[in-house]
Amino acid sequence: MKDKNNEYVEIKYKPGSRAELPDKINPDALPEIFVNNSPVAFQDVSYSSAGKGSHISYSSRPTVSIDFSTDHFPLPLRNKLHKHDYFELLIISSDKFEMQIESRMCEFSKWDVCLLNRSTRHSEHFIPGMKVFYLVLSPKYLLNWSREEGMNLQRSSVLARLFSKGLRDTMQQNKDYITFKYTGQNVNPPLYKLLEDIRKEFEDKQPGYQLFIRGLICRLLFILVNPEHYDAEYIDLGSDDGFSLAYSAKQIMDKNKRRMTKQQLAEKLNYNSEHINRVFKKHYGQTIPDYNKLVCMREAALLLCNTNQHIHQICRQLGFTNRTHFYTLFQQEYGCSPYDYRKRGGR
């Protein structure tokens, strides 16, 4: 669905939501809506295969609870690469979650966690069945922690490294983040109870609830750096010269195993197609079209030897609409026609 200028998703109030909301928003705003400059906020975002989603935002302001619909958008829904003026902690509550961080394509499993510096660009992929919790931490909120809490955080080198760099980085140039891979065996890890407690404190807003929330967040952070529960990895992309972008492009082509144009890759990676092609050639010694042709021909050879599919079916499966062009490329790569290659058993 489109209006005259932008695509949009429709949203509606849930009963009891008192905040003023528009009737539609640009999908690039998902899930960063209604943070409202809160020093700390907790968000619950889910998205179904039917194009329906819900977004509940808890903060010092009244709870905002909405439904949104993307019936007219192809899945998965991806927002553009963006960054925030706050630290963002994502806790994955679905079996799978995909996100692009700068030029890297990252996959997360249930109860994995990612902590993003405020200068690190990222793009969430809203895949069917997705459910994610967001914890928003402003620099001011962290700087106002007591000395004792700050000293406790210093005991974790991985957290101290990211927060200290991020809080000093007034120009927001540090491109770093931390991944926490869940290594525990419990269906619901210890942080699950903490998330429910944080939600309840925001909902009830009893006197002193801000102090309780601060303590719960501190406990949550220490669960993340406990090796009994999580394997933490600090990743600094500040010195990345484009390899991760080239590697991501290679991953996509290797996984799809079919024809892809530079523009199609650019749309997936949210980067300029010519820039991707330049860094790919720099790191892999060939252009994207040349490498993609190689991937397709290798896959064609495998299908010819290991399946009974007709050659024209293989041609279509690999994305070729011109069978003559396919035959020409195969001949150039293997020195014979697809028919002869199959007849010789790949020899």
pLDDT tens digits along 169-179:
655 567 889 99
Nearest to 224 by CA among 284, 135, 125: 135
Q: Which domains does the chain have, with CATH numbers?
A: 9-236 (2.60.120.280), 243-343 (1.10.10.60)
Element housing 25 (H / E): strand 24-25
Residues 6+ positions from 231 with CB-CB distance below 8 Å:
180, 181, 183
pLDDT tens digits along 145-172:
766 665 455 556 788 888 877 777 655 5
| pLDDT confidence of residue 28 | 53
Query: Residue 31 in 3-state DSSP?
Result: coil
pLDDT tens digits along 79-126:
777 888 889 999 999 999 989 888 788 899 999 999 999 888 888 887
pLDDT at residue 27 is higher than 80: no
DSSP assignment of 128-180 equals TTEEEEEEEE-HHHHHTS-HHHHHHHHT-HHHHHHHHHHHH-TT----EEEEE
What is the average pLDDT across 50-54? Answer: 77
Nearest to 90 by CA among 11, 177, 189: 177
What is the average pLDDT across 226-254? Answer: 83
- Asked if residue 338 lies in contact with residue 300, where contact means CB atoms within 8 angstroms, the answer is yes
In our burial notation (b when 16+ CB lie closer than 10 A, e otherwise), range 72-85 reads: ebeeebbbebebbe
Query: Residue 96 in 3-state DSSP?
Result: strand
What is the average pLDDT across 242-257? Answer: 85
pLDDT tens digits along 290-312:
999 999 999 999 899 889 999 99
pLDDT at residue 318 is higher than 50: yes
User: Tokens for 281?
Assistant: 């050639």
What percentage of residues in the chain have a pLDDT greater than 90?
A: 38
- Asked if residue 314 lies in contact with residue 300, where contact means CB atoms within 8 angstroms, the answer is yes
Rounded to 10 deg, the angle between the 243-256 and 262-269 helix axes is: 110
Element housing 339 (H / E): helix 338-343
| pLDDT confidence of residue 183 | 92
Looking at the DSSP bridge assignments, the partners of residue 40 are 137
Task: Please report which confidence band the pLDDT of residue 8 belongs to, taking 50, 70 and 90 as the band edges.
Answer: very low
